[in-house]
Amino acid sequence: MMSMNIVYCKTKTKNEIQQILKLQKQNLPNNLSTEEKIKEGFVSVSHTLDILEEMNTICPHTIAKYNGKVIGYALSMHPMFANKIELLKPMFNQIKELLPEEKNYIVMGQICIDKEYRKKGVFRNLYKEMKVFLLPEYSSIITEVDFKNKRSLDAHIAVGFKVLGKYISAKQEWVILTLK
């Protein structure tokens, strides 16, 4: 069975981060058809190599690899990066409003699975491993999903995320979720 050969680990090399960026680019909305966005989901943020490396230094990203190739990732974003990515600033403001006392959380900045490896448990296992890697140190993992991205929203709820709240920013509706 193929899933037996999938390795889940923390990102350690620049090459792994470059593979994350390649997978990310393939799944940005402007690189997908309308049908693909509805059926398969999409990612909203395009990161730079520098910011992903900096984020990884503070808290390593969780990746899934098959035969040495990154086939999925879940990015870790420490709150110290709240002002580094314009699209995510409103999310961090919402987290402060919804959880004013919460100081020890990590944001899952983006999750993506290579099309060839979807529906094989990689999404669920990335979060399972991310919890093992991060929840001893952090009290929760928080993320947001574009309300239009039904596939992603349903998948997050299916793995145990709870809805914290919703808000609108730049004419998009976002759902904030938490996993403990």
Mean pLDDT, 10 residues at a time, the chain of 180 residues: 77 98 93 85 88 96 97 96 88 93 92 94 96 93 92 93 94 94
What was the pLDDT predicted at 85? 85
Query: Pairing between strand 69-77 and 62-66?
Result: antiparallel
pLDDT computed for residue 58 by the predictor = 96
What pLDDT is recorded for position 170?
Answer: 82
Domain 2-179 belongs to what architecture?
3-Layer(aba) Sandwich (3.40)
Query: Which residue type, as a one-letter code, is found at position 47?
Result: H
pLDDT at 123: 95
Find all residues with CB under 8 Å of 85, minimum gap 6, and list them: 45, 47, 51
What is residue 4's predicted lDDT score, i.e. its pLDDT? Answer: 64
3-class secondary structure per residue, 53-103: HHHHHHCCCEEEEECCEEEEEEEEECHHHCCCCHHHHHHHHHHHHHCCCCC
Domain boundaries defined on the chain: 2-179
The two tokens of residue 70 are 């990154």
Distance (Å, rounded) from C-alpha 6 to C-alpha 117?
10
In this prediction, residue 44 carries a pLDDT of 81
